[in-house]
Amino acid sequence: MRKTVLEAAGLHRSYGSVRAVDDVSFRLSEGGSLGIVGESGSGKTTTARIVVGLEHADSGRVVIHGRDRGVRRRGRAERLARAREVQMVFQDPFLSLDPRTTVGGALRETLRLHFPGADHGRRITELLDQVGLGARESEALPRQLSGGQRQRVAIARALAVEPAVLVLDEAVAALDVSVQAQILNLLGEIRAETGIGYLFITHDLGVVRCVTDEVIVMRHGRIVESGPTARVLAAPEHPYTRLLLESVPRPGWDPRRIAAARRAL
C-alpha cells in the first residue's frame, strides 16, 4: 500500500460571509494523482492555494510527509521548506515567469535559492531534457516561446526543487487541444519516472479522466462526491456530478436544459 504524502484535514476558509472552503479533507498517496473538480467559485483553487501555502485557512491541517505544515503563514524558513515539498503550476505560465529572464536564468535562480553551491549547470540541462526542451530554449526569453513551451518551463522550474507533490491549477486549460495532449503525456511520463504525486485542479472532466486515479467534486466550497475516477465518472451518485457530466457538449446537447437543471439544484 502506498504511503500518504499529502493530507488535508478539515480545511475552512471564509471571506466575510462567503465560505470558500468548507470542511474539505482528502489524501494523496505517493505517486498518486488526485483531481479536484468544480465550476468557478467551487473553492477548488482556494483549496490548492492553501495546500501550497499561498493562502491560509481559518482552521484545519495540511500534513506533508507526516509533518503538520500548519495553515497559517509562517516565517521564511517554513515557506522554503514547504516549497521544497509542494510546488504549483499555474494556468498562464507567462504571468509567473519573469519576462526579462531567460529560461536558464529562471531555473538557476530557483536552484540557487534552494540548493546553494550545487552544480546548477548540469541540473538545468537535466530539467530541460526532462520536459523536452534544450539549449536553444534555455537561452530564450518567455515571449520567444510558444504557450506549450512556456508551460514546459513552468513544470521544469517546479520540478527543480524535487517536490513530493505538484499542484496543477488548470495547467492545460489555456492550451490548444493537441498541445494539451502533449503536456498531459509529459506529466504522465514524469510521474512514472519520479513517483511524484499530482493534485489536478480543473473544470475539465476529460483531463480528469485521462490523468487522475481519484477525484473529488466540489460545489460551494464543499466536497459533494469523491472516489476512484473511473467509478465516479461512470456512475456518479450526486446530482451535481451528473450535471457536470451532462454539461460536456456533444451531439444533441441542450444548454437550456442544463441551465434549468443547475438552477434546480
The structural domains of the chain, with segments of one domain joined by +, span 4-234, 237-265
Q: What is the pLDDT of residue 206?
A: 83
The model's pTM is 0.88
Instruction: Round to whole Å and give the CA distance between 110 and 128.
Output: 14
Q: Where are the alpha helices (DSSP H) in the chain?
A: 44-52, 76-85, 93-96, 103-114, 120-130, 135-138, 147-159, 177-194, 205-211, 229-234, 239-246, 255-264
Check if the beta carbon of residue 240 is closer than 8 Å to that of residue 217.
yes
Which architecture does CATH list for 4-234?
A: 3-Layer(aba) Sandwich (3.40)
Each residue's pLDDT, cut to its tens digit, for the chain (265 residues) gives 778 999 999 999 999 999 999 999 999 999 999 999 998 899 999 999 999 988 989 999 999 988 887 655 567 777 777 778 999 998 887 788 889 999 999 999 999 988 887 779 999 999 999 999 999 999 999 999 999 999 999 999 999 999 999 999 988 887 888 888 899 999 999 999 999 999 999 988 888 988 999 999 999 999 999 999 999 999 999 999 988 888 765 544 444 554 444 455 5
Check if the beta carbon of residue 26 is closer than 8 Å to that of residue 218.
no
For the chain, the residue count is: 265
Q: What is the pLDDT of residue 237?
A: 93
Check if the beta carbon of residue 197 is closer than 8 Å to that of residue 30.
yes
**Edge to edge, what strands does the sheet with 59-64 contain?**
18-29, 4-15, 59-64, 67-68
Q: What is the pLDDT of residue 80?
A: 76
Instruction: Round to whole Å and give the CA distance between 150 and 99.
Output: 11
Q: What is the pLDDT of residue 255?
A: 47
Q: What is the pLDDT of residue 74?
A: 64
Contacts (Cβ under 8 Å, ≥6 apart) of 30: 2, 3, 4, 5, 164, 195, 197
Q: What is the pLDDT of residue 249?
A: 54
What is the DSSP code (8-state) at residue 142? G
